[in-house]
A and B are shown apart, each in its own frame.
Chain A
């Protein structure tokens, strides 16, 4: 232990010395910032660049941006670090983990850091749809950063081949079935070469499923996060629709569908339509070997989609200087120019209306109107499923959905059981 302890101590001492030496003021405020970003170059690099830019403009603040993995891994890391006594000062975490973070007593509301009227105006400048998962008890705990909604991508060439108008995606549940049937392509042995639609269901099927439930005009959980409505007849209906897509109408592959392979499947022509995050926009634009379209998810009773993605959270185990620095950084990075850079690099939705007004964004969207779809869908968007003990409740809901999709339980049974279990967990929070 000693050999390495010495090495680290020396290296740390050297690093600190150098940092202090190059900082123009005597004391640098050090921040550790966890972020979950899909790697593929653009996203992680952009975070690094933005952080560097901020540090150049604010030499008295040192930010160590640490890539912490997937959303799941990042929240585990942040909580593990907090329990170990060494939490980061700020982190981008899935917005729905807000209740868990509050229950574990690790984050603080942004309202406590608001000092000027400008700060207050900034706090109120975000799209309300994104704020639904960011506020509770009248306070704001999260600031939207990499937010998204799912959208419908379609293969225009495939549509043309099937005799459909390549510029018109399905607008309703029925249309999706009809068009899906025309889009299915089978080979000589009767095996499906191309499916009509692909709605991934591995890992966290609840997110895209929320699209269906919102379109069916039902909400899965209340805003206090202590009551769910998993066994509502409209939810059961939505699940039945999803299950029927593969079992009855045969326009979607049976069984659990892998998220990670979805863009690839789309590029390979294995599916003509896919439901996935707008965060995939840049990836699809760069790699699709055909003309593609992006549109809002089809409606049933109404248009609808869940919001998704990560918010900034500030941890309360930090000194006042660090909190102030973190607050400043969050304000800076959500300013229109930086937000535009981020949005263009990744495809996430810029969470503030004024960002879309900047010349950069105007130029980008006139060149690439697909980027506007997610933003326009915001008016039909609802909060992502979020409750106390979010991981447990979401997991058992995911399990129920998986059971129905694989056919091991009927939608009604699976959802009834899920509701029972969720009630047992959430009772304590009412």
Chain B
């Protein structure tokens, strides 16, 4: 019986494992390996160069700029989109009027491809006749502002688009979690005379921890992944002020064709992601309150 289980176990697992290894583990390993080689050019093959790529990385100011940007991008998108998602879910789950329409409005960004909506946001941000400026000058008489063409504001503008894109998606997870919380808890809190805020903080929040963990890990991954809009809106500019790590990797690999250096950059991303995700698991594990 035992032996059969072995065989079956491995048999069932094999197809998935083959693809996993081929497209996740093998490339990840190869990336790490490739980061120690130079880029092949024309007829010259790749040669082993040890840590030279890493030395170039450390000396590359664009890399540090991009890394800093990604850090701010993560800091901007993760807490805000998770918090907004919870707020949206609470609203939509309640007994306010217009929750159905609101739910559609919040979720709509999820089904619109980022590359498509980037053009719309580009219009919003266009100085002068863009929507934001029209509102600013029409309602407040303020001068035109160039949000995308200014190194100080461009990253913020890009962050807004990312938050807009993902908050609604996370809302669905919170919504599902909220709907599975037994109403008896709310009734008990009411009887005890607890305020809504108290209920939120002491009862709901801890119960929602597993969802929050799940959603935050997704948000972390998204903070590295969501670069589509940069292609359309800023192309990484001005002067790399809105460039993110994955976007830079694309540029280095497919615009400059420096595959060796691209591998090095990818290794950095892999390391960062692992640290962040594992760190999150540990952090939340202590606070998670399973039913």
Contacts and interface: CB of A to CB of B under 8 A. Distances in A.
Direct contact of A and B (CB under 8 A): yes
A343 to B, nearest CB: 29
A244 interface: no
Contacts of B241: 406
Contacts of A202: 148-149, 234-235, 237-238
Contact of B255 (A189, A254, A391, A408): A391
A72 B237 CA distance: 16
Interface in A179-216: 189-192, 201-203
Given A103-B42, A256-B146, A408-B151, A191 B239 contact: no
Contacts of B146: 253-257
Contacts of A406: 149-151, 238-239, 241
Interface in B234-265: 234-235, 237-241, 251, 254-257
A399 B240 contact: yes
B46 interface: no
Give the contact-size bracket for chain B. 20 to 34
B239 A192 contact: no
B142 A191 contact: yes
B256 A270 contact: no
A253 B235 contact: no
A90 interface: no
A408 B239 contact: yes
B4 interface: no
Contacts of B210: none
Interface string A259-292: 0110011001010000000000000000000000
A402 interface: yes
A405 interface: yes
Give the contact-size bracket for chain A. 35 or more
Nearest to B254: A76
B127 interface: yes
Contacts of A254: 146, 149-150
Given A189-B141, A258-B126, A265-B128, 20 more contacts: A103-B42, A104-B41, A105-B42, A191-B137, A191-B143, A192-B144, A202-B237, A254-B149, A256-B150, A258-B122, A258-B149, A264-B129, A268-B128, A270-B129, A391-B256, A392-B256, A395-B255, A402-B239, A403-B239, A405-B238
Interface of A: 72, 76, 79-80, 103-105, 189-192, 201-203, 253-258, 260-261, 264-265, 268, 270, 389, 391-392, 395, 398-400, 402-403, 405-406, 408
- Ordered nearest first, which 9 A-B pairs have the shortest CB separation? A256-B149, A255-B149, A402-B238, A255-B146, A191-B143, A402-B239, A403-B239, A399-B239, A270-B128
Interface of B: 41-43, 62, 122, 126-130, 137, 141-144, 146, 148-151, 234-235, 237-241, 251, 254-257
